[in-house]
Structure 1
Amino acid sequence: MTETMTKAAGAAAPPGAIRPVPWRERVGVGVREAQWGLAVLALVIGAGAGLGSIAFRWLIKTFTGLFSGHADYAAAGHAANPHVSWLGPYFVLLAPVIGGLLYGPLVDRFAKEARGHGVPEVMLAVAQRGGRINPQVSVVKALASALTIGSGGSVGREGPIVQIGSALGSTLGRIAKVTEGRMKLLVACGAAGGIAATFNAPLAGVFFAMELILRDFAIESFGAVVISSVAASVIGRAAFGDVAFLNLPAFHVDHVVQYGLFAVLGVVAGGVGIGFTRILYWIEDACDWAWRGPEWLRPAVGGLLLGVVLLVLPEMYGVGYPVLENAAEGKYAAAFLLLLLVGKILATSLTIGIGGSGGVFAPSLFMGAMLGAAYGAGMQTLMPSTSGAVGAYALVGMGAVFAGASRAPITAVVILFELTGEYSIILPLMLAIVTATLTSKLLSRDTVYTLKLRRRGIDLDGPATGAVLGTQQVDEVMEQAPGALAVDAGLSVAAMELSLSAHGVLPVTDKEGHYLGTITARAVAEALTDEPGSAGCGAIAGDLVERPASLTADMSLAVALHDLISHPGTGLPVLDSERARLVGWLTHQSALRALHPVRA
């Protein structure tokens, strides 16, 4: 009895003693919070995404072989399936039906979010759900997309691999119990790794994740995403080899006039990108309106329509990269190229509309190649001495249509360069992509990704459904602006006024009271430190004016919060609708007061 009590007393820590932290707990905290922990998680996610891409591509190859009897039926023409040769080319009428009978119940039962092209679901998870993605999505999406593509669905594999990698990142983040901000970053790491390994495009994976998924280019985010992308690329290259994803002949710009032709192609491509987006959702609406049966059966019944399209145009079977390469090499007539362009829009829209699973990135590249090659062939007829090679227009058209549909110009430039290895075409590619992006923005406020969410009543820049903060306007919650400094005020005056300000920043106005920008205490302190004179040698407030993101009084608080959160200061100026005069000041505290307004 005495011995037991002695041991118990010895085991108890004396009052005030610091309990030693077990090594497992220290490691757990490090993984969740330290920079090295983020690097380790990004590395693991990249490796997982790389292995997942290998498995996913194997599934596509296997199912394509089973359903069509060819490695890529799109390049086989009206050939028969050797497994059922007695059906001749008519087997394509049944392949989408059988595929739909397999993936339809799978998606409906285990992960409904695996339906469609995937990227919008990941964007939504990052923007409004704290990066949380259903763990089983990765498995269901891989199987459903591989079955869709293998059985003739005219979709790509970038959407599925993004959703697969992102689900892996979300699951690992949940296991490690990371913060919400880090969870979102891990989701982006999974998306980057998936793109990098699948297309042998590590830079494109990074920019895809930053521009479309995170919509942020912070240094910490960039580093983690790069680690994941590199890890996935190493694994992907070990499996698939270090070669460009598409094999295209070398192209060059031989005449300055061609730059004008490429700019016009960008405008047309931007319109095609928006047209594809509209038709995609029109057909999806039509399928929703026409179908009255159970959702699990919809892909099989709709597969009959897809089979008819494939019977007429077998080039629409699956992703269709061989057909894309033939177009870039000038093997098709212009009229047939336009037929393939229309056929791809119809086949992809129908595949998604009936409930198929797959991406829209590869189809947009296909459309761009057909458009560009047809455009180039037309220019060769009109301007044979200056137009240049048809293939150059096909390559530029690929990036331009994708940019027009997704409005992600940086990703479009980088991914086309990495997919083809063609640096000689980079200048016209950049020109066409910028013009396509501007055209797309003029024609529509939404992209092929965001329109899917907006049709469900979800605005990525707005508050989540049911949110208590963000539905107000800025003028409902802003507070009185601090006293403004005159643009010609000396630095000594500015220093005194800033020392009395609770914000550490003051607005600056001209003699007519028009808002010019802000001046910070840090900028004034640095100027006074650098200048030999105590008053700053005649420097005035106007010399140190900065122009931070300015808000307007009629702006939604949800939109304003994005700028407020990313701004390093304590608040942002609020201007009138003409952005000429200062009318208020928005701080984190004033935004939160919208939840508990002060009663008089």
Structure 2
Amino acid sequence: MSGIRAATDRGQGADTTTKSPTPAPTIASLRNAPWGVMALAVVVGAGAGVGSVVFRWCIKTFTGLLSGHSDYSASPGASNPHVPWLGPYFVLLTPVIGGLLYGPLVNRFAKEARGHGVPEVMLAVAQRGGRISPKVAVVKTLASALTIGSGGSVGREGPIVQIGSALGSTLGRVTRATEGRMKLLVACGAAGGIAATFNAPLAGVFFAMELILGTFSAEAFGATVLASVTASIIGRASFGDVAFLNLPAFHVDHLAQYGLFALLGVVAAVVGMGFARFLYLVEDACDWLWRGPEWLRPAVGGLALGGVLLALPQMYGVGYPVLEKATEGGYAVGFLLLLLVGKMLATSLTIGIGGSGGVFAPSLFIGAMLGSAYGIGVHHLMPGTAGAVGAYALIGMGAVFAGAARAPITAVVILFELTGEYSIILPLMLAIVLATATSRLLSRDTIYTLKLRRRGIDLESPAPGAAIGAQHVGTVMEPLPSALPATTSLTDAADLLSLSGHGALPVMDDAGRYVGVVTAQAVAEALAEQPEGAPPVVGQLAAPPAPVTADQPLAQALHTLLSAAGTGVPVLDAEQGKPVGWLSHQSALRAVHATA
């Protein structure tokens, strides 16, 4: 009987195993499944949307408490109904009160919440695996809302980007996401924050991919779109389906205006980079002057900001009502230029004393003032062809931001979403591309990366203390392969490339000057096209890849190596630009293996 019972028990055990229910989805399955990142993107977008609603409510509440108005810049110079006996002089005290509140908060709980926020997110993605402390979301919300509500002349896009990114990073930690997924979730948070705050879902997507990730891929696009759409739905349910700015209709009356828009783009780039330089010049001055505890700095510096607000109350807060009035032609040229300089000073001072807020909205403000003044000027000079002043204000907004942040796609998309008019696209693209190109000629850095470089951080280099990728290219490069003369025929070049083992070779002209690199693929395609129009010699096929110099960090050169055709790229002398070596995938891997 005992044997029968044992056999029966064994049979029951086997039967139970085969009929056990399918396990419920776990965090691991959500993390690893192909659809997992999309589901997480929706959750991050929802969190960013709710965070945006809370953040805007906090700004409105603190602005009402400290100024007595829903937006004091719409009623500049008015008294505070809470303290009417102070008249307009109450603005001397509100930045001090705000500083006494957010100064200790930031200093005690999250120092990274100080400033305009976007550089910190870019750094977290580039060098810290997307890790952002979860407390940043709470501290940034309160500190930025107090800064803006007490008169700080900054925007709300930087804070909401940092808030949404912190939510994405926190969800990534909870689900134990891989580093790549973590970075993507951070970008989703940024996209959702921009989309919900400005009712600009496309701009949120491109802001995240262009500035935060710095790359475009199908997975990143899909995830950020889901986050942006989800956040936009929540934002529209709370704020309505309206743009955050009411801008005038746009139209081009005369073809000559395109030349005027192009010139405005160049001027806007100079102004945008000037704003970036002035911002950090004022911050340096505040650092040099202040000798007390950091938690008290915003309150004491608030006295200086209060003086600016007393002289120019239009600088109180973000200042969208003033921006809208400028686009409608409501100010004279002299006052527009005063507002432009005043915004630079007020924003720089707000950031310099330790305030928390973004520089995107100030860039739009400065661009609107510049564009309006420019439009009025050309209207007087060319009344028959210049067109409406508001058109130049809109173009100036996008061009100054593109010049300062060097994010042309984001600049085009957000201005298109604000106006909803396709007629803006051609002049906007023209001015923004010229502004971006001019900005690149003027400076290596943007308004965001300059803050990091001043701290000794290069986003294209390895993180401080990282051994991998810190070597200079000159220490790991191989000898330069024998170069091909530019007059080599395609048939001979094909033979030499097949024997080289590199898949690509440098090309020199008759004078010994470096022409570029020719790849085996390019030669094979040209041979297949002969005799119909294919070049007869390799000199006409050679193209120089992005330059890699011997004194360049390996981590930075890897970006060029990965995007280059063939198995390597020539290493150039930093001074003369001549090839001195060859960086291949094998040499890069050997360097990484040696330090791993």
Q: TM-score, normalised by structure 1?
A: 0.88
Between the aligned partners of 2:507 and 2:427, the Cα distance in structure 1 is: 43
Which aligned pairs between 1:199-348 and structure 2 lie closer than 5 A?
A: 199-348=198-347
Give the Cα–Cα distance (whole angstroms) in 2 for the partners of residues 583 and 10 of structure 1.
71
Q: How does 1:173-212 map to 2 (within 5 A)?
A: 173-212=172-211
After TM superposition, give the deviation of residue 238 of structure 1 in Å. 1.7
Distance 1:390 1:482, change over 3 A: same
Greater CA drift, 214-223 or 313-322: 214-223
Map residues 37-52 of structure 1 onto 2, 5 A cutoff. Answer: 37-52=36-51
Matched with 1:110 is 109
Quote the residue 1:354 is aligned against.
Answer: 353
Distance in 2, matches of 1:583 and 1:263, equals 42
Distance 1:521 1:594 in 2: 28
Name the CA distance, whole Å, in 2 between partners of 1:575 and 1:523: 23
How many angstroms does 1:470 deviate by? 2.9
Change (3 A) 1:527 1:403: closer
Q: Are the aligned partners of 1:481 and 1:584 in contact in 2 as well (CA < 8 Å)?
A: yes
Structure 2 partner of 1:519: 519
Q: Label 1:491 to 1:46 Cα distance change in 2 as closer, same or farther (>3 A).
A: farther
Any idea what the Cα deviations from partners look like across 1:545-592, whole Å, max 9, x if unmatched? 787556343433231022234568654443555666573232255354
Residue 79 (structure 1) shift: 0.8
- Displacement of 1:314 in angstroms is 0.9
Equivalent residue, structure 1, for 2:364:
365
**2: CA distance between counterparts of 1:515 and 1:28?**
54
Partner deviation per Cα, 1:6-29 (whole Å, 9 max, x = no partner): 89x979x99xx99x99835x6434
CA distance in structure 1 between the aligned counterparts of 2:95 and 2:508, rounded to whole angstroms = 68
Q: Which residue of 2 aligns with 1:593?
A: 591
> Which whole-Å CA distance do the structure 2 matches of 1:152 and 1:64 have between them?
8
- Kept in 2: contact 1:462–1:559 (CA 8 A): yes
Change (3 A) 1:583 1:230: same
Residue in structure 2 matching 1:583, options 581, 584, 587: 581
CA distance in 2, matches of 1:39, 1:73: 41
Q: Secondary structure at the match of 2:129?
A: coil
Equivalent residue for 2:557, pick from 560, 563, 582:
560
Contact 2:191–2:205, Cα closer than 8 Å, also in 1: yes
C-alpha contact 1:478 1:587 (8 A) present in aligned 2: no
Q: Which residue identity lines up with residue 457 of structure 1 in the other structure? A: G
Q: How big is each residue's C-alpha offset from its partner over 1:78-119, in whole Å with a ceiling of 9 and x where there is no partner?
A: 111112222221111111111111111110111000000000
Asked whether the 8 Å contact 1:131–1:183 carries over to 2, the reply is yes
d(CA) in 2 for partners of 1:153, 1:212? 25
Tell me the CA shift for residue 57 of structure 1. Answer: 0.8
% identical equivalent positions: 68
- Superposed displacement of residue 454, structure 1: 0.7
1:121-156 alpha-carbon deviations (Å, 9 max, x no partner): 001111111111111101100110011001110000
* Count of residues in correspondence between the two structures: 580
Q: Say yes or no: does 1:574 pair with 2:568.
A: no
Find the residue that maps to 1:424 and give its secondary structure. Answer: helix
Name whichever of 477-486 and 461-470 sits farther off.
477-486
- 1: CA distance, partners of 2:299 / 2:579: 60
Per-residue CA shift, 1:333-389, capped at 9, x if unaligned? 111111111111110001001100000000110111111111111112222222111
Aligned equivalents of 2:577 and 2:465: distance in 1?
31
Residue 488 (structure 1) aligns with? 489
Query: What is the Cα deviation at residue 511 of structure 1?
Result: 8.1
Q: What is residue 129 of structure 1 aligned with on the other side?
A: 128
Cα distance in 1, alignment partners of residues 493 and 442 from structure 2: 51
Contact in 2 for aligned 1:477/1:591 (Cα 8 Å)? no
SS in 1 for 2:35: helix
How far apart, CA to CA, are the structure 1 residues paired with 2:232 and 2:333? 37
> How large is the RMSD of aligned CA atoms in angstroms?
3.3
Note the alpha carbon deviations across 1:180-221, whole angstroms, 9 max, x for none: 112111111111111011101111111111111111112222
Aligned residue number for residue 410 of structure 2 = 411
Q: Secondary structure at the match of 2:154?
A: coil
- Rounded to whole Å, the distance in 1 between the matches of 2:231 and 2:392 is 31
1:47·1:231 contact (CA, 8 Å) conserved in 2?
yes
Which amino acid in structure 2 is aligned with residue 85 of structure 1?
P
Conserved in 2, the CA contact under 8 Å of 1:405 and 1:447? yes
SS in 2 for 1:517: strand
More displaced 10-residue stretch of structure 1: 376-385 or 395-404: 376-385
Amino acid at match of 2:591: R
1:30 aligns to what? 29
| Corresponding position of 1:163 | 162
Give the conservation status (yes or no) of the 8 Å contact 2:569–2:584. yes
Partner SS state of residue 384, structure 2? coil
- The TM-score, its normalising length taken from structure 2, stands at 0.89
The answer as to whether partners of 2:477 and 2:587 remain within 8 angstroms in 1 is no
Which stretch shifts more, 82-91 or 330-339?
Answer: 82-91
Letter in 1 for 2:383: P
**What residue is the counterpart of 2:474 in the other structure?**
475
Offset, 1:34: 3.0
2:536 and 2:223 map into 1 onto residues whose CA distance is: 42
Contact 1:507 1:515 in 2 (8 A): no
Alpha-carbon distance in 2 for matches of 1:38, 1:225? 10
> CA distance change for structure 1 residues 483 and 123 in 2, over 3 Å: closer, same or farther?
same
- Is 1:519–1:546's contact at 8 Å kept on the other side of the alignment? no
Question: Which residue number in structure 2 is paired with residue 57 of structure 1?
Answer: 56
Note the alpha carbon deviations across 1:313-350, whole angstroms, 9 max, x for none: 11000000010000000011111111111111110001
Instruction: Specify the alignment match of 1:101 in structure 2.
Output: 100
Amino acid at match of 2:357: G
**Offset, 1:485:** 7.5
On the 8 A contact 1:68/1:151 being kept in 2, the answer is yes
| Alpha carbons 2:48, 2:192 under 8 Å: kept | yes
